[in-house]
Structure 1
Amino acid sequence: MRSYSYLNTAEQILDHYDGKEPFASFLKKFFSQYRKYGSRDRKQIGHLCYCYFRLGKSLPQVPTQERILIGLFLCCTESNEILEQLRPEWNEKFHLVLGKKLLIINYSLLITDAFPWKEELSEGIDYEKFCRSFFTQPDLFLRLRPGYEGAVKEKISGAKISFREINSSCLAVPNTTKVKTIIELDKEAIVQDLNSQKIGNYLKLSIASRSLSGCQLPVAVWDCCAGSGGKSLLLYDLESNIDLTVSDVRESILINLRKRFTNAGIKKYKSFVVDLTQANSPWPILHGSAGTSSRRAYEPFINTIGGQFDLIICDAPCTGSGTWSRTPEQLYFFDEKKIQPYSVLQKKIVSRVIPNLKPGGVLLYITCSVFKKENEEVVDFIKKQFHLELLKMQLLKGYDKRADSMFVSVLRKSL
């Protein structure tokens, strides 16, 4: 029976996966070794594995195959072929809400067992709703770039893809949508989670606050943990008259960023590699948009008296706990002991970058974490150690919107 074959293969994969790389990457490598699995097989087996991870820390003593089936039942919203064959009595109840499904399985299981760290959460999070979100795959969100809104909607509609229009510049499509085959990514639209797009409101606040302090355009901006450049791309679409500098810890990250910037039409910026957690590491040479370098370009970073930037965006490395419904393997393997080291790392980074703010300059501190040690406690540290004024702070909840949750704060240096 094919269902048993799927279940056995999923168990085999889970037995060999240790959580040290993204599960999607591990799964791709597995199927590249075993080419007997067709597209439908890969999809079914992968789904079983993700259902297993969505149980998080609950039912740790339950055998793997039984745990897979429990996860599948709790996650399914329609009749399922595998459940029909292996647990027909559960499949008949697929339409029930999650709470009622929990009463059907023969285990004492609470929805909150998946995430046992309630006391670590930031203020304002609905604990039960947050835990429920782990059993639902979030949507894929597109940010439509200025001037391409109509074209993107036409292309998505033409491809017979269902979508929800969140606002004039944001669409939600099914997570499995292969958008790069439909639109020109980064040029026409950008894959960016809903709450990541909402950071634009805080970028506007940051620029407005800086303008009130007498800042003249172009605004000098440093995206210090730039990653693939999503926040810089968002800022550029809001205010293109910026003097942009981007950095990250590895050159490979910036190579990807430069490709995205090229596709997006961003030509004027500077970039450099730096480990901001190392207080004594030298500031490196800045690279221009074309890859040229200049030793003179990085001299301002050495003499930080007075600062250099009107706005510093710090999208800090974090546990990623606000995104675990998208990557449930991270929930499954998470150890609470990891929270404090991330908080220490974040404090090191902000301590390194804040001296580069001009008087009246603004720090935008962002995480995709739901833990207060990475969020409110870092903001408290910034206020106490550097005497920055807190203008705005918010936990952007995504668990009730099929989206990621994020934390954002806007702090201003005194004039």
Structure 2
Amino acid sequence: MKNVRKAAFEIVTKVLGGNGYSNLLLNQMIKSKEIDPVDVSLLTEIVYGTIQNKITLDYYLKDFIDMKKTKGWVKNILRISLYQMHFLDKIPNHAILNEAVTLAKDRGGKNSGNFVNAVLRNISRKGLKSLDDIKDQTERLSIQTSHPRWLVSLWLEQYGLDTTTKLCNANNSRPSIHCRLNLTKDDSNSLIKKLEDQEIEVSRHPFIEEGVKIIKGNIIGTSLYTDGYLTIQDFSSMLVAKILDPSESDDVLDTCAAPGGKTTHIAELMSNSGSVSACDIYDHKIKLIDEHVDRLGLKQIKTYKQDARELTKEFKAGTFDRVLIDAPCSGLGVIKRKPEIKYHKSRKDLSQIVKLQKEIIDDAVKLLKPGGRLVYSTCTINKRENEDIVNYILKNNSELSLYSEPFKQFGLDSDGTLQILDNDLGADLFFIACFRKQV
């Protein structure tokens, strides 16, 4: 079995080095069974906590080390150690220090171990300065919640102080695990009973019948998962297909389909009938969609390797009853699940992604039948990628209008758009807009 702090160090180093996503690397480590099951919770806490609070930790560390001269891997040992010392209260400091020194010696020799030992003892002796000393409001919020200043400024401009503060704090909470029950295989009551039989406790979504939240237990590796009785999917992601609301005989297009969660949900809502065309530009992503389709036992999905900006080369105009544009986006609504996103994005990235979104839309709208429905969705919080894109669609496509009925059937107050900024379900923060094409 691998030492839990060594495993945390390895994952944090890969993630902060831009070599993987925290959630995927954690799942890989857990699946590998290199970690004792009793240590999984602590591993998750250290990895997410360290990455989520990196800016805060670095603010403290810069009083004790030269941030530019200290090697990256040494900073990561100090980060995971300081996170435990400052944010966790059940682990004795001497245990944290001993583990850190051992890690440093194993990686860099005796001198590295001595350096880490001296820094952590100095921190323990002197303590940390107060964040209240930061006078600039934007800077203080940035460091308190460990969000880049540019992102805090963007949200302050678009949503104001109260909402921005709530967003930043929510991003540092632990992500919930939601699952979608495959109702083409069994009814929801029977599937929940099967979960309970495997000692997995769940709670139901208030209006998505197939949606459940995992309260206790691990579904990965269970026969229910491998045999296609359920899929890991966030509640907000499930809502996208519910708003698209395909009929069983419809022809549906998913323009940006990978990894296949929404594609397969659409197919399940159609009771494995009609047709679903799922497109992506990369071979490995097409393979991922196909694997999900096979595992879930769905028959009416066909995958296409095609650039979403050029789908009219593959399909004739007016082919589809339903079109989903789950657009590439900045991903700022899933920071809680992938905290490293906030460190790997910039304002420049946001401008580039808007250009791509518009190019996809300009091509995809041509494929919608008269009377058909188009849903545009993102997993981000940025008006330029959301509300401004809605205005762009309406301005350039007079035959399209916002359609609010799909939202109202679930009791959601909407003009045809919905920005999820806060919820009690622990769901990701999505934007969804629904349009109808005139007959």
**TM-score category (smaller protein):** 0.7 to 0.9
Mapped partners of 2:57, 2:128: distance in 1: 12
Instruction: Work out whether 1:356 is the aligned partner of 2:367.
Output: yes
Instruction: Work out whether 1:188 is the aligned partner of 2:212.
Output: no
For residues 318 and 38 of structure 1, do their structure 2 counterparts lie closer, same or farther at Cα, with a shift above 3 Å needed?
Answer: same
Contact 1:155 1:182 in 2 (8 A): no
Q: Using the TM superposition, give the Cα deviation of residue 314 of structure 1 relative to its aligned residue in structure 2, in angstroms.
A: 0.8
Mapped partners of 2:171, 2:221: distance in 1: 26
Higher relative contact order (CA 8 A, sep 6+): 1
Q: SS of the counterpart of 1:177?
A: coil
What are the residue-to-residue correspondences of 1:69-218 with 2, within 5 Å?
Answer: 69=81, 71-72=83-84, 79-82=89-92, 85=95, 106-108=129-131, 110=140, 112-113=142-143, 114-115=146-147, 116=149, 117-121=151-155, 126-146=163-183, 147-167=186-206, 168-174=209-215, 177-185=218-226, 187-204=228-245, 207=246, 218=249
Q: Using the TM superposition, give the Cα deviation of residue 155 of structure 1 relative to its aligned residue in structure 2, in angstroms.
A: 2.9
Instruction: Work out whether 1:311 is the aligned partner of 2:322.
Output: yes
Q: SS of the counterpart of 1:173?
A: strand
For residues 182 and 106 of structure 1, do their structure 2 counterparts lie closer, same or farther at Cα, with a shift above 3 Å needed?
Answer: farther
Structure with the largest fraction of helix: 2
Q: Using the TM superposition, give the Cα deviation of residue 237 of structure 1 relative to its aligned residue in structure 2, in angstroms.
A: 2.9
Q: Using the TM superposition, give the Cα deviation of residue 159 of structure 1 relative to its aligned residue in structure 2, in angstroms.
A: 2.9
What residue in structure 2 maps to residue 212 of structure 1? Answer: none
Letter matched to residue 269 of structure 2:
L
Contact 2:268 2:298 in 1 (8 A): no
Q: Using the TM superposition, give the Cα deviation of residue 37 of structure 1 relative to its aligned residue in structure 2, in angstroms.
A: 7.1
Mapped partners of 1:262, 1:80: distance in 2: 45
For residues 60 and 343 of structure 1, do their structure 2 counterparts lie closer, same or farther at Cα, with a shift above 3 Å needed?
Answer: farther
What residue in structure 1 maps to residue 257 of structure 2? Answer: 226
Mapped partners of 1:6, 1:184: distance in 2: 26
For residues 180 and 13 of structure 1, do their structure 2 counterparts lie closer, same or farther at Cα, with a shift above 3 Å needed?
Answer: closer
Tell me the number of residue pairs that the alignment of Structure 1 and Structure 2 aligns: 361
Out of 226-235 and 375-384, give the one that drifted further. 226-235
Q: Using the TM superposition, give the Cα deviation of residue 396 of structure 1 relative to its aligned residue in structure 2, in angstroms.
A: 2.2
Contact 1:362 1:411 in 2 (8 A): yes
What residue in structure 1 maps to residue 426 of structure 2? Answer: 402
Q: SS of the counterpart of 1:180?
A: coil
Q: Using the TM superposition, give the Cα deviation of residue 161 of structure 1 relative to its aligned residue in structure 2, in angstroms.
A: 3.0
Superposed CA RMSD: 3.6
Unaligned residue ranges in structure 1 (runs of 5+): 88-103, 209-216, 284-297
Q: Using the TM superposition, give the Cα deviation of residue 313 of structure 1 relative to its aligned residue in structure 2, in angstroms.
A: 0.5
Mapped partners of 1:28, 1:73: distance in 2: 25
Mapped partners of 1:175, 1:374: distance in 2: 36
What residue in structure 1 maps to residue 46 of structure 2? Answer: 48
Q: Using the TM superposition, give the Cα deviation of residue 69 of structure 1 relative to its aligned residue in structure 2, in angstroms.
A: 4.8
What residue in structure 1 maps to residue 383 of structure 2? Answer: 372
Letter matched to residue 120 of structure 1:
L
Unaligned residue ranges in structure 2 (runs of 5+): 62-74, 98-126, 133-139, 404-415
Instruction: Work out whether 1:263 is the aligned partner of 2:295.
Output: yes
Contact 2:201 2:217 in 1 (8 A): no
For residues 237 and 393 of structure 1, do their structure 2 counterparts lie closer, same or farther at Cα, with a shift above 3 Å needed?
Answer: same
Letter matched to residue 408 of structure 1:
I
Identity %: 22
Q: Using the TM superposition, give the Cα deviation of residue 39 of structure 1 relative to its aligned residue in structure 2, in angstroms.
A: 6.1
Letter matched to residue 393 of structure 2:
I
Q: Using the TM superposition, give the Cα deviation of residue 357 of structure 1 relative to its aligned residue in structure 2, in angstroms.
A: 1.4
Q: Using the TM superposition, give the Cα deviation of residue 326 of structure 1 relative to its aligned residue in structure 2, in angstroms.
A: 0.9
Out of 342-351 and 391-400, give the one that drifted further. 391-400
What residue in structure 2 maps to residue 328 of structure 1? Answer: 339
What is the TM-score when the length of structure 1 is the normalising length? 0.74
Mapped partners of 2:328, 2:426: distance in 1: 22
What is the TM-score when the length of structure 2 is the normalising length? 0.70
For residues 414 and 36 of structure 1, do their structure 2 counterparts lie closer, same or farther at Cα, with a shift above 3 Å needed?
Answer: closer
Mapped partners of 2:24, 2:230: distance in 1: 24
Contact 1:389 1:411 in 2 (8 A): yes
Q: SS of the counterpart of 1:328?
A: coil
For residues 107 and 45 of structure 1, do their structure 2 counterparts lie closer, same or farther at Cα, with a shift above 3 Å needed?
Answer: farther
Mapped partners of 2:294, 2:28: distance in 1: 30
Q: Using the TM superposition, give the Cα deviation of residue 380 of structure 1 relative to its aligned residue in structure 2, in angstroms.
A: 1.4
Instruction: Name which of 383, 402, 407 aligns with 1:390.
Output: 402
Letter matched to residue 133 of structure 1:
A
Q: Using the TM superposition, give the Cα deviation of residue 257 of structure 1 relative to its aligned residue in structure 2, in angstroms.
A: 1.6
